[in-house]
Structure 1
Amino acid sequence: MGKLPGERFELRHYARLTVAKNNHIYLARDNHYFSVPYTLIGQRVKVIYTRSMLYVFHKGERVAIHSRGFNQGSYSTLKEHLCSQHQHYRDRSPEYYRSKAAQHSKVLSRYISLLFKQGKIPEQLYRTCDGLLALGRKVDKERLEKACNTAMEYKVYSYTFIKNMLENNMTEATAEPSARELPEHGNVRGKTYYDQYQ
């Protein structure tokens, strides 16, 4: 009998995925994003994953390898994969999104600029920016600006926050209820009434 394998046997799972504009593929099973070289944006890739690892292949060649990530909605990113690390690739960049936002509104442009100052890798924010620009095409400019101003006031930089504000009509100004005086009537006891019991 031969030696037992040095590594534990792991089931393999297969998927065919498209590389998004933010340099990542999305593995729905984990609700997790994995980076792929920027030259493959828009391409279909073959993904093989086990309990612990994920491998990405394009035309039979392995182009990326990651430890499997299980943080819901998070990113596993290798900087060398990112288009922001390559000056000649400018189709998607913070400047691109700031410029697109400025065509719509100065407030939206400022909001997106602050979004990129949150310390995240730019590619991890591109989906948020795409969502915000899409809202800019669908929603009244004044309402979107109010939502952005509120979000900036609370330092919340999130597409979901802006979308929820708009869907729940939270951009409408709510006036503070004015203090009204009580109406006069005969059942009100004044100070002199209570003085007699001291």
Structure 2
Amino acid sequence: MPFRLIRETVEARITAKTVEIFHRGKLVATHQRSFCQHRPTTIADHMPSSHRRYRDWTHERILREATAVGDDTAALVEIILRSRPHPEQGFRSCIGILGLAKRYDPERLDAACARALALGTRSYGSVAAILKNAQGRKTTDKTEQPSLFHENIRGPGYYH
């Protein structure tokens, strides 16, 4: 039904082939009935403009654009899409992260996504904050030295 009727009382007439929606006795929408479970059938004109903006995005397109930025960006986007009960719920976060490529270079965005993965965060806000605070710089030295040296500190090699 049209989005402007959200929270309004409507009546539905469901036949073998169609679904008709009435508001105050007036027919406002007619859909072909779909028997595919958990697959909404939406007419674009019934969607608010903020939702229409995302209707052309697909999983494949989001993953393709994330891969073009970098491997860590693709991994974060894939995790976001898999972590939601319905992957479409993660589209806004993913598209927002990809939109950061307009303000930051791809290497820096990919480094911020790598930092977000290391921190276990899965949101646009966390990636944007990492970029804003310049925490996403990739380090060239892969060996991390302990911040404190003492004879009683065993280190990671002790346990192997």
TM-score grouping bracket, smaller chain normalisation: 0.5 to 0.7
2:96 to 131, 135, 148: 131
Displacement, 1:82? 6.8
Q: Which residue of 2 aligns with 1:68?
A: none
Q: Could you report, residue by residue, the CA deviation over 1:119-170 in whole angstroms, capped at 9, with x for unpaired residues?
A: 4311111111110111022212222122111111122110000001111222
The structure whose residues are more often strand, as a share, is: 1
1:110 to 66, 72, 75: 75
In structure 2, relative to structure 1, the CA distance for the partners of 1:49 and 1:102 (3 Å cut) is same
CA contact (8 A) 2:67 2:74 kept: yes
Matches within 5 A, 1:19-34: none
After TM superposition, the runs of 4+ consecutive aligned structure 1 residues lying more than 3 A away are 53-57, 172-179
The structure whose residues are more often helix, as a share, is: 2
For 2:5 and 2:124, the matched residues in 1 are separated by: 29
Instruction: Give the TM-score normalised by the residue count of structure 1.
Output: 0.46
Equivalent residue pairs, number:
116
For 1:142 and 1:82, the matched residues in 2 are separated by: 39
Unmatched 5+ stretches in structure 2: 12-20, 32-36, 43-54, 149-160
Q: Which residue of 2 aligns with 1:61?
A: 29
Q: Which residue of 1 aligns with 2:40?
A: 81
Matches within 5 A, 1:8-19: none
In structure 2, relative to structure 1, the CA distance for the partners of 1:150 and 1:80 (3 Å cut) is same
Q: Could you report, residue by residue, the CA deviation over 1:84-127 in whole angstroms, capped at 9, with x for unpaired residues?
A: xxxxxx94322221011112222211221122221431111111
Matches within 5 A, 1:169-180: 169-172=134-137
1:61 match: secondary structure? strand
In structure 2, relative to structure 1, the CA distance for the partners of 1:103 and 1:142 (3 Å cut) is closer
Matched, 1:165 2:130: yes
CA contact (8 A) 1:82 1:123 kept: no
Aligned residues: percent identity?
25
2:108 to 143, 152, 174: 143
Matched, 1:47 2:5: yes
In structure 2, relative to structure 1, the CA distance for the partners of 1:177 and 1:160 (3 Å cut) is same
